[in-house]
Structure formats: C-alpha cells, structure tokens
A and B are shown apart, each in its own frame.
Chain A
C-alpha cells in the first residue's frame, strides 16, 4: 500500500511538474493556418474526412508549389471534439501566434468566436455554417461564410421539392417534416421554413433530435411513420446523419423524398443504411470524385508519399472534397492578400482583405486544377457570403450522383431575413463595434 501511494504521488508530481509551454514560436516566414478539427467524439464521422481534405490540400501546396506565393503554409490541427469549451481553448492557444484565419468547423464554436475574433482582428471563415446573419459584411467585417447560408440552403431545398411537385403553388396542402439537430445549427432555418409554410400553404412538422439522442431515433421515426409527411428535410451532423438515414430506410420512408442539407450528405451518412439508403438526397456545393488535377496532385505529392492520415479510398469522397474546397478558399484569400499588399508574408488583417475581395470564377477553378468543382464564388465588402447555388445529389447505393442542375437560392426571401437577423444580433450585443475597416475595390 505504501509503495502504491509513493508511486501515485510520484506520478502526480510528475504530471504537475511538467510546465505548460505557453506559446511556441511560429517561424517568421510562414503562413500560419490553424485548423480546428474533430477526429474524436460523436461527430468524428463527419469531421475526419473534412479534416483530412483541409490538411492534405495545404500539404500539397507546400510540396508542389513551395507554399503560397513561395511562402510555406504552417498547418496545425487543434482537436475540438465539436465541444465549445475546447474550441474556445483552441482559439486562445493559437491567438498569440497570430493565425491568418480561423476555421471553427462548428456552428457553436463559430458563435462563441464571432465577438472575440472581431476584437482580436482575426478573420473567421465558416464555410456555409455558423451564423447566417454574419453574411452582412457591414456589421461583421471579420466573419465570412461563403458560399451559401443555411437559409439559402433551405430555400434551395424547397425550390427542389417544388420542382418535383410541379411548382411552388403545388406545395399547398403538402406535409413537410423537418428533422434537425436540436441546437443552433438546426434551429436557424426554422423561421424561414415557417415563413415559407405560411406563404405557400404547406404544413411543417418538426422532429428535433437532441444531441444526446443522435443515435437513438427509433421513436422519432415512429412518429414520422404516423404523421406520413410527403417530404422529409434533414439538418443533421455527425452521428445523427447515418442514424436518420438508417431509420428512414427501416421505417420504409420513400428515400427519394428525404433530403438533407449539405452537411448531411457524406458517404459515411448514406453508406451504413446499405441497400435501404438508395435514393437518399442531399444538397451539395462541391463536386464529388477524385478525377480533378488538383486532387490527383494531392494523391501524388501527399498521400503516395505517406505524408497524410487519409486512407486511399477516402480521397474524392464528398466531405474530403469539402475540406479541400475549404482550403482552396483560404489559399485564394491568402493569394489575394499577397497581391493586394505586395507582401509575401501576410497577416490576418491582410487575409481579411483577401477574403473580402475573393472571386473564384469558373476560369479560376480551372486554373486551380478543379474545373467545375464548385459554382463561381464571389465575396464583397457588403456581402460576405455570395448566396451561391447548390445542387442536389442522390445516393445510388455506392456513390453520390448529381441529379439536379445548380439551383440558386431565393435571395428575395433570404436577404430581408438576413438583414433583420443581423440587426437583431447587433442590437442585442450592444455596444457592437462599428465597422472601421475600409473596403478594397474589386479590380484585382
């Protein structure tokens, strides 16, 4: 017993004795891009491919081009586990190293960082997640969420459904079920959905999935079976997605009437349902597949060299490509910043300008080795989102197949809501700093 205590005491002393190095020096001539990732926890099935895609693309740029504009990119992952406290801790741990941009990859963490980043002058890039209202650049100069907001996504879903039903007018009398992650992420689209329901005369039944019960949806799907909605729309993430698809298949819901947002459309979400998952639909704004020169380069320079955590067959999956797209936008913003400032080593304020003048045309996507990979993206000083189009894809049992054209969101419905939400946020968070950053002209 005494020995045990001694060992215990020594171990404890050892653990306490290791002092925490507060900040590691970041080499002067690198571009520091921290990536907030989650490879653990109940959201890992969504988080891993995205983390791999983001990380691999930067590694490829370093190996192929020697970085961006000749300056190496220093990538550092910080594991958040999709938890807000961890995310804030990650932010505090990288803050002193002056990161160029922060990618929280969680709506909750984004919400926590929005006020902080504006004060610390570090841009937050939340690609089609986070606070939709942050698209208003005049109120949120440091926050960027291209290519589309949740509200854009919801309007695209309804446009698609209307297309199948024969026009928006024929939505009248239809029953639409909305199954969503019971948190900020899933709650955000509800006001718009309710407004559409009123306008077009369909009824909405809501099925919240509490985060603790993501893998326990059988009761919920029994209600779906009872309610018999004509369409089901899903706003899910992490373990919630595959569970919902499996349960839908089990209850015999018509899979081609079940449509998820772009965060509910990974291979990991549809595959576990086996043959039953066939026909499941989801939105997407990036292409699927590995047949792009840039992704071939990732395979050649990074994965073939054993320099990555990515399993070979993950390359080209939807969320892997989503991660690549995330990094492409950051890299383009850094390139823009370098052009704008004529400096090679840019800082976070420069990257904010780079993001604000971001334009990725079809031509530019081609130059990047990703022809037709995504819709052209354009961010401006006032509009930090762009409200770009998305398409619908369908699971054929083995892979995703594009089944619709690019569908543009209903900006006339989304924008008024966006401005009122931004006003609401600002008025509730007084004193909110006024925008002092000047706008760059768009002629790059």
Chain B
C-alpha cells in the first residue's frame, strides 16, 4: 500500500536508469540522509557518535571496498586489514610531510597509495583463483603487517612504534586529535562515506561494474565477450584497495586517534570479511548492514542487560557476544547465504504487496 511503484511511469531512459527509480526509495534515502546529517548531530550523545556511528561508517566503507572485490568481482581477499593499514600509514606520513595540507585531501590521497599497493598484490589474481588467491592476499596481509612494524620510517621512528594523530584544523575548527568534537569528525566521516558510496553505486551499475560481475560469474565467458580480464581484475583490486585505504586513514585520523601495526592485523581482515558475508555479498547496502550488525551487536549486548536491570559481568557479556556473533554467521551461511541485504529485498517484496499478498 505504502510501498508500491504502481503509477510511477518512466517516460525517458534517463528516468528508468536513475539510481533510485522508485519514489518511495528516493524519499527513504532522503530521510536517512537528513537524519544522518542533521538529526544525529543534534541529538546523539558523544558515546553514540564516537563509539557506534563513526566506527560503523568507517568499517562500512572498508566492507564496501572488500565487497567490490569479493562480492562484485568474485576475488576473495584476506588482505583488507593490510590495505587499510597502507592508507593509515600513508596518511600519517603525508600529514607529517605536508603539515599545511587540508586533512580531508590527505585522507583521500592516502587511498591512492593503498590502491597502488593493492594493484601490486592483485597481480597474482590474473593467474590464480579462489582459495589460492585468498592465500596470496593473506601473504599480502602478513607482509604489510610486517612492514608497519619493521620499517621505522613509516611511523617516524617513534619509540612506541605507534602513530599518533596531531591536531589538525579546518576553518579554525579542530577536526582531528583529542580536542576535536565527535560531531565534527562524524560529519566528515559521513560526508566521505556518502560520496564514496555514491561513486561505488554508480561504478557497479555502469560498464565497469558489469564487467566485474561478468568476471565473477564466469571469467572465461567474460573474456569471450570481449572483457579484458587483466585490466578488469586489477581495476577491481585498485578500487577496492582505495576504499579500504580511505577507511584505514579515517580509522586512525577520525576515529581512534592512534594506531599501531596490530590495529591492521589478520583479525581486522576477517572482521571485514564477516561483515561482507553477513551483510550480503555483492550489495552495497549489505556492507552497511553487516558493519552495523558486527560492530553494534556486542555494544548492544553489553548495554542490554543493564537496560533491563540485570547486572552481568563485562566479561560474560563479551563471551555471550562471541557466541551470538559466531552463531549468527553460521545461521546466515545456512539460512540466508545472501545476507542481510537479501532479507531487506525480501522485505521490500513483501511490502509491495502488503496488505493484500497473493
């Protein structure tokens, strides 16, 4: 009744090919953006912004990056953490080398370093597939982690081997460092994520995205219809690593304020991979849903008992959340391999017919 496209006629190809062809979707996305850009800064507490919204957005961007590679192009990668690290360390180096440059420009630039590194490690993908490629990217992960600790130049020879974020200002407003307000950082993260997601959405429904999907579905067939595997796969690695790199740079500069090699270890790669699997392979919405679920669930589980007046120990909550996240992953793999995004699609289908399903 509410969600029905009946009567919305498209009179041009342009209208038919719009990002959101259905009016209700456009309204929905407008409301979400309005809430995110205006509602949240006005109402949310600093804990919600700092510990829930910023992490979810940053991780969602990394998951989007991995999704472009794994979900759209079908190349399994376990190097996400490493590529995020490249972005983070590149941004740190850039910030020390060019202290005067706008930090947002630096964050976006650091994505290109990650893209370059990602392309190099993507080279084996031309020869090997599936699990073998996963192992090759795993090697990238370990090699990069090793670099982050063994090359002191990367962390400016700090004794603690960690990178600290200096305070940077933009129009006189602190945007990084301890004095910056969570809302400022949130708005920057949100803007970057929104723009990059829009770019990704347009990439995947255009020529490039179709080439990626063709390669994913059957690379031999794709080659036969004239897609160059070489460029397509490497482009997927480059774009994916760009997204991961930007996410890594934001993670250090706009979220944690400090990082060391350990922040970009193999567990980080797995975490992002779980987000993509639970959220939905080959769906941008899925990246966001997956990030929200995996990051948010432990926080909710920790807070929920107190909410209902039950006191459980912090460690018990942590263990319960391990169990639940683990169980959810198995559950999704069995019941809904296409993830949360598919659930939303089913819901949408049902909504269309509501209240008179046939």
> Chain A interface (Cβ within 8 Å of chain B)?
4-5, 8-9, 12, 15, 18-24, 37, 39-40, 76-79, 81, 84-85, 88-89, 92-93, 95-96, 107-108, 111-112, 115-116, 118-120, 131-133, 182-184, 187-188, 191, 208, 210-212, 309, 421, 424-425, 428-431
Tell me the smallest distance from the CB of A35 to a CB of chain B, in Å.
9
The CA-CA distance from A24 to B257 in the complex, in Å, is 26
Judged by a CB distance under 8 angstroms, whether B262 is at the interface is yes
Question: Contact at A429–B164, with CB atoms within 8 Å?
Answer: yes
The CA-CA distance from A184 to B45 in the complex, in Å, is 32
Q: State which of B142, B166, B259, B335 has its C-beta within 8 Å of the C-beta of A8.
A: B335
Tell me the smallest distance from the CB of B315 to a CB of chain A, in Å.
4
Question: Contact at B307–A93, with CB atoms within 8 Å?
Answer: no
Q: State which of A96, A115, A132, A211 has its C-beta within 8 Å of the C-beta of B258.
A: A115
Question: Contact at B315–A210, with CB atoms within 8 Å?
Answer: no
* Sample of 12 A–B contacts (CB below 8 Å): A9-B347, A20-B48, A20-B303, A39-B318, A40-B318, A40-B319, A79-B314, A88-B256, A92-B47, A108-B162, A108-B262, A112-B257
Judged by a CB distance under 8 angstroms, whether B340 is at the interface is yes
Judged by a CB distance under 8 angstroms, whether B331 is at the interface is yes
Q: State which of A22, A81, A107, A132 has its C-beta within 8 Å of the C-beta of B45.
A: A22
- Indicate whether A428 sits within 8 Å of B336 (C-beta atoms), given known contacts A77-B315, A108-B260, A115-B177: no
The CA-CA distance from A160 to B346 in the complex, in Å, is 70
Judged by a CB distance under 8 angstroms, whether B119 is at the interface is no
- What are the interface flags for B152-167 relative to A under an 8 Å C-beta threshold, 1 for contact and 0 otherwise? 0000101111101111
Instruction: Give the chain B neighbours of A131 by CB distance below 8 A.
Output: 160
Question: Contact at A85–B159, with CB atoms within 8 Å?
Answer: no
The CA-CA distance from A120 to B182 in the complex, in Å, is 13
Interface band, chain B: 35 or more
Question: Contact at A428–B158, with CB atoms within 8 Å?
Answer: yes
Tell me the smallest distance from the CB of A356 to a CB of chain B, in Å.
21
- Indicate whether A92 sits within 8 Å of B51 (C-beta atoms), given known contacts A8-B336, A23-B45, A40-B319: yes
Tell me the smallest distance from the CB of A38 to a CB of chain B, in Å.
8
Query: Which residue of chain A lies nearest to B268 when distances are taken between CB atoms in the complex?
Result: A85
Q: State which of A5, A23, A39, A92 has its C-beta within 8 Å of the C-beta of B343.
A: A5
Question: Contact at A191–B315, with CB atoms within 8 Å?
Answer: no
Query: Which residue of chain B lies nearest to A119 when distances are taken between CB atoms in the complex?
Result: B178
Query: Which residue of chain B lies nearest to A309 when distances are taken between CB atoms in the complex?
Result: B313
Judged by a CB distance under 8 angstroms, whether B202 is at the interface is no
Question: Contact at B47–A21, with CB atoms within 8 Å?
Answer: no
Tell me the smallest distance from the CB of A310 to a CB of chain B, in Å.
13
Instruction: Give the chain B neighbours of A107 by CB distance below 8 A.
Output: 160
The CA-CA distance from A308 to B265 in the complex, in Å, is 35
Instruction: Give the chain B neighbours of A95 by CB distance below 8 A.
Output: 46-47
- Indicate whether A85 sits within 8 Å of B55 (C-beta atoms), given known contacts A21-B303, A39-B315, A107-B160: yes
Q: State which of A40, A108, A187, A208 has its C-beta within 8 Å of the C-beta of B322.
A: A40
Question: Contact at B346–A79, with CB atoms within 8 Å?
Answer: no
Instruction: List the 3 closest A-B pairs by CB distance, nearest first.
Output: A184-B160, A39-B315, A112-B258
Query: Which residue of chain B lies nearest to A84 when distances are taken between CB atoms in the complex?
Result: B263
Instruction: Give the chain B neighbours of A108 by CB distance below 8 A.
Output: 162, 260, 262
The CA-CA distance from A243 to B135 in the complex, in Å, is 27
Question: Contact at B166–A9, with CB atoms within 8 Å?
Answer: no
Query: Which residue of chain B lies nearest to A109 when distances are taken between CB atoms in the complex?
Result: B258
Tell me the smallest distance from the CB of B280 to a CB of chain A, in Å.
13
17 A-B pairs besides A79-B315, A116-B178, A211-B262 with CB distance below 8 A are A18-B307, A24-B306, A39-B315, A77-B314, A79-B314, A92-B47, A95-B47, A108-B162, A111-B160, A115-B258, A133-B159, A183-B149, A183-B261, A184-B159, A187-B161, A429-B164, A429-B166
The CA-CA distance from A425 to B161 in the complex, in Å, is 12
Query: Which residue of chain A lies nearest to B332 when distances are taken between CB atoms in the complex?
Result: A8
- Indicate whether A183 sits within 8 Å of B161 (C-beta atoms), given known contacts A78-B314, A210-B145, A212-B265: yes
- Indicate whether A5 sits within 8 Å of B297 (C-beta atoms), given known contacts A79-B317, A183-B149, A188-B160: no
Tell me the smallest distance from the CB of B37 to a CB of chain A, in Å.
20
Question: Contact at B179–A119, with CB atoms within 8 Å?
Answer: yes
Tell me the smallest distance from the CB of A124 to a CB of chain B, in Å.
12
Instruction: Give the chain A neighbours of B346 by CB distance below 8 A.
Output: 5
Instruction: Give the chain B neighbours of A88 by CB distance below 8 A.
Output: 51, 256-257
Query: Which residue of chain B lies nearest to A21 when distances are taken between CB atoms in the complex?
Result: B307
Tell me the smallest distance from the CB of A180 to a CB of chain B, in Å.
11
Query: Which residue of chain B lies nearest to A120 when distances are taken between CB atoms in the complex?
Result: B178
Question: Contact at B343–A112, with CB atoms within 8 Å?
Answer: no
Tell me the smallest distance from the CB of A2 to a CB of chain B, in Å.
10
The CA-CA distance from A95 to B48 in the complex, in Å, is 12
Interface centre among A5, A19, A24, A132 (most CB of B within 10 A): A5
The CA-CA distance from A53 to B156 in the complex, in Å, is 38
Query: Which residue of chain A lies nearest to B261 when distances are taken between CB atoms in the complex?
Result: A183
- What are the interface flags for B165-187 relative to A under an 8 Å C-beta threshold, 1 for contact and 0 otherwise? 11100000000011100000000
Interface centre among A23, A24, A211, A425 (most CB of B within 10 A): A211
Quick one: which of B49-93 are within 8 Å of A by CB?
Answer: 50-52, 55
The CA-CA distance from A119 to B165 in the complex, in Å, is 14
Interface centre among B160, B167, B303, B322 (most CB of A within 10 A): B160
Interface centre among B166, B262, B346 (most CB of A within 10 A): B262
Question: Contact at B265–A111, with CB atoms within 8 Å?
Answer: no
Judged by a CB distance under 8 angstroms, whether B299 is at the interface is yes
Query: Which residue of chain B lies nearest to A19 when distances are taken between CB atoms in the complex?
Result: B307
Judged by a CB distance under 8 angstroms, whether B194 is at the interface is no
Instruction: Give the chain A neighbours of B315 by CB distance below 8 A.
Output: 37, 39-40, 77, 79
The CA-CA distance from A15 to B324 in the complex, in Å, is 11
Judged by a CB distance under 8 angstroms, whether B300 is at the interface is yes
Instruction: Give the chain A neighbours of B23 by CB distance below 8 A.
Output: none
Judged by a CB distance under 8 angstroms, whether B35 is at the interface is no
